[in-house]
Structure 1
């Protein structure tokens, strides 16, 4: 009587036993060049031993360029942001674990994607983003890491996260709560703003939006903008806010530096919250934690559904407020 295949057998386990990288296992399983015959056979033998079975998504991507998934950036500067670096790392791992081969496509390489990849994951949406229409016209299945819209998509529950952060500040006695975000007049930038607005509306408090320019360095932008605002206040004037709800951890860190430089105590005079819970950067920051690993694995699952021709859907990943020293 044969035993059932192990459900926990993954490409990561094969790599561990063979003493090689996940990328090497992926090449062996997909018949790609770059490995010696002896190493390839050892990897395949281990896969048979543990009865590895690729997922439905991996079976859709088993040969030719179909084994390649293009990870596409919408703007060149987002590759500099820690959040996107982490997301890219988790996506790469999740794809490798399913036997897929990820390839990075910068903003100006989108036209090459259909020639080199059988599917795509789109990061960094922006106004008038032409990538979904471009890929649809060429029959390339894709998943967006972003808000509900065209096709398959996955994103953290941004609105609820900012609602939680704002409610926390209100319950702590803050009444002059400002929201710091990039280009807040643009519709695609308002999903987090709406969570803040909802919490204030429930409490009957006025909105205090602070819109900063969108550049590649949120921390520097946040610092410069808030420092200018504080410098323009009369010496005897009270602060126009007692809390700052920031759209990202990086904006929050810039604001914290500006407050410190102006001798404003945090959280005694001004509480500060962020969003993302970035490792190291958010060590002392009250922030909204999103599970980047879950977003990545969910994106890969949705990619399998897209390849299988299933109806498009959006998945909203739960978030949680993490209270630390700044609020």
Structure 2
């Protein structure tokens, strides 16, 4: 048998469930029962197996735990109906959620919205990305007894975490006002929909405080927000000079589309029109004045809340602070 250090600070890299079974003289099934607190073996044998696992510093990988424990260690990460995993924000949040879950020995599995029905059969809990108040997934998961956390607005009776969206847009609008802008537009997806107005409220608050009129530019939802903003603003600019000197966008991708349209029409940024975004996407927002949300912290808080949901604790919402990052576009 391979010699291992008995120093408690040394982790045996080769330690596996097979080695525990061999050292204890039992089957892998017995080791699984001991490690996961399941019945079917005596307490003396359970303690014997656990002692061996401690002696060889056994640390199960996430994949191994999924095989041993089944769906209870699997967390379904579920996209909303209009979300697409190829967008930079979802790529980032998924990466951070994966890291945070692996640290807890959990196994993330990705689910599209139309796969929600299969989630209860494959996962023991779920994290819902960008869940809006009219989202039907929470009711469905509750019906099937699946604990979940929403990354989205506060909703009564559920665990949720989100950046302070309204305050973030308020900071962006106030910044443009403080730099002398007096005709500030707001661009967002389908602004007539009630669940798309939580960021808009921050813009309206800032303009009301300053006694300025609002100018809303509602663009149709599209899986390529930058292209949508470029085309929509381009059509407006072809009708004549802009009747605004600033644009507050509810995501970085919309802001980048606006910047391209303004450049193509010979409008100087920020001298003639200032532009702000929201998210602070790596690389994409390198020159953009934007509102930064801490995506890594959102993922970490979501995993903490998921543990509380699984434990049956009372639901709560966590609103995370945001900050304005000033760059070349304002």
TM-score (norm. length: structure 1): 0.81
Query: Residue in 2 aligned with 1:22?
Result: none
What residue is the counterpart of 1:188 in the other structure? 195
Provide the residue aligned with 2:25 in structure 1.
none
Q: What does 1:226-241 correspond to in 2, within 5 Å?
A: 226-233=233-240, 238-241=241-244
For residues 139 and 325 of structure 1, do their structure 2 counterparts lie closer, same or farther at Cα, with a shift above 3 Å needed?
Answer: same
Residue number in structure 2 paired with 1:103: 109
Structure 2 stretches lacking a partner, 5+ long: 1-7, 15-30, 33-52
Matched-pair contact (CA < 8 Å) for 1:162–1:195? yes
1:72 is matched with 78
What SS does the corresponding residue of 2:185 show, helix, strand or coil?
A: strand
Within 5 Å, give how 1:127-138 maps onto structure 2. 128-138=134-144
Higher relative contact order (CA 8 A, sep 6+): 1
Q: Is the CA contact 2:73–2:123 (under 8 Å) kept in the aligned structure 1?
A: yes
Who is 1:83 aligned against?
89
Pick the aligned partner of 2:320 from 314, 317, 320: 317
- The secondary structure found in structure 1 opposite 2:120 is helix
CA distance in 2, matches of 1:79, 1:85: 6
C-alpha separation in 2, matches of 1:289 and 1:47: 44
CA contact 2:131–2:153 (8 Å) conserved in 1: no
Kept in 2, the 8 Å contact 1:80–1:216? The answer is: no
1:238-284 per-position Cα deviation (integer Å, ceiling 9, x unaligned): 52100000010000000000000000000000000000000000000
Separation in 1 of the partners of 2:123 and 2:230? Answer: 40
**In the alignment, does 2:123 pair up with 1:124?**
no
Structure 2 Cα separation of the partners of residues 203 and 47 of structure 1: 67
Equivalents in 1 of 2:195, 2:89: separation in Å? 18
Aligned to 2:153: 147
RMSD of the TM alignment (CA)? 2.5
Matching residue of 2:225:
218
Q: Report how far residue 76 of structure 1 moved.
A: 5.8
Following superposition of structure 1 onto structure 2, how do residues 194-209 of structure 1 map, counting pairs within 5 Å?
A: 194-209=201-216
| 1:169 equivalent in structure 2 | 176
Larger radius of gyration: 2
Structure 1 residues without counterparts, runs of 5 or longer: 7-12, 20-29, 32-43
Q: For residue 126 of structure 1, report the CA deviation from its aligned partner.
A: 4.8
Matches within 5 A, 1:261-300: 261-300=264-303
| Residues in 2 aligned to 1:157 and 1:74: alpha-carbon distance in whole angstroms | 20
Structure 2 CA distance for partners of 1:285 and 1:256, relative to 1, 3 Å: same
Q: Contact (CA 8 Å) 1:121, 1:143: kept in 2 or not? A: yes
SS at 2:282 equivalent: coil
Instruction: Give the Cα separation in 2 of the matches to 1:314 and 1:46.
Output: 41
Is 1:254 the equivalent of 2:261?
Answer: no
**Counterpart-to-counterpart distance in 1, 2:137 and 2:222:** 21
Shift of 1:46: 9.9
Show the counterpart of 1:48.
57
Partner SS, residue 181 of structure 1:
strand
